[in-house]
Homo-oligomer: A and B are copies of this chain.
Amino acid sequence: MYNKVMVIEDLDSISYGIDAMLRNKLKVAQVVLSQYCDDAYLKFLKAERDHLPFDLIITDLCFTKDHRDSRLPSGNEFIKKVRDIGSRVPIIVCSVEDKPTVVKKLMHSNLISGYVLKGRKGLKHLMEAIQTVNNGESYLSQELADSLKRKDIFEIEDYDVRLLLHLSEGWTQDEISKHFHENNISPSSLSSIEKKLNRLKDELKAKNTIQLVATAKDLGLI
């Protein structure tokens, strides 16, 4: 099936398992592990240059920061860079991230071939995903497919996130208004910001801004 696979995953406990699975169950000859996105990108470039490219990439999305300052902080950036240089190697994302907005954005971007949710059967699903992708189809974990289908997924815009973020940083609505005005972010008037917040409070069932920001944090919007 696949002979040269790269796995990008910061937690050694997980990459250990994926590595073993790829070698033992799927008989992959060459498995390359990366704990950092930059590393992964360099290895990827070298493989391309040497005309020994990877024929599958499995990557996480979030990576914990440590002493090394990495210029590629997330799997998202890595994926973009790989596609930017024109590679069409299949990429399977394997992440605990189950927020509909994130998953939706990635799956609809056509940048990746599969999205596996790390869960109780994550490794099993990853194997299925590899098979499916090998057959030229795309793969999405069942739980995610279900949650994407639900209509009550609250569509939150970039604007709203900025707003909530600034609030959580202690800015007053007036300060945000002025900042938006200066940076040509529309709408910027205090009144509009109030209105936006009212809509958000309504959707997230928050009585006031404090609760709004709290639940936004709970939901991982910010």
Residues of A within 8 A of B (CB): 10-18, 20-21, 35, 64, 66, 94, 96, 118-124, 126, 167-172, 206-211, 213-214, 217-218
Contact = CB atoms under 8 A, between A and B. Distances in A.
Contacts of A64: 119-120
Given A20-B20, A208-B170, A208-B172, A123 B13 contact: yes
Contact of A210 (B10, B12, B120, B170): B170
List the number of copies, as a whole number: 2
What DSSP secondary structure best describes chain A's contact surface? helix
Contact of A18 (B13, B170, B209): B13
Contact of A169 (B14, B119, B167, B211): B211
26 contacts: A10-B120, A11-B96, A11-B119, A11-B120, A11-B122, A12-B17, A12-B119, A12-B122, A12-B123, A13-B13, A13-B14, A13-B94, A13-B126, A15-B17, A16-B20, A16-B21, A20-B20, A167-B210, A169-B214, A170-B206, A170-B208, A170-B211, A172-B208, A209-B210, A210-B210, A210-B213
A20 B120 CA distance: 17
User: Which interface residue of A11, A66, A126, A168 has the most chain B CB atoms within 10 A?
Assistant: A11
Contact of A213 (B17, B122, B171, B213): B213
Given A20-B20, A214-B217, A118 B168 contact: no
Given A16-B16, A213-B213, 7 more contacts: A12-B17, A12-B122, A14-B17, A17-B20, A168-B214, A172-B208, A214-B217
Given A11-B122, A124-B12, A207 B170 contact: yes
Nearest to A12: B123
Nearest to A172: B208
B168 A210 contact: yes
Contacts of A122: 11-13
A175 to B, nearest CB: 10
Contacts of A119: 10-12, 64, 66
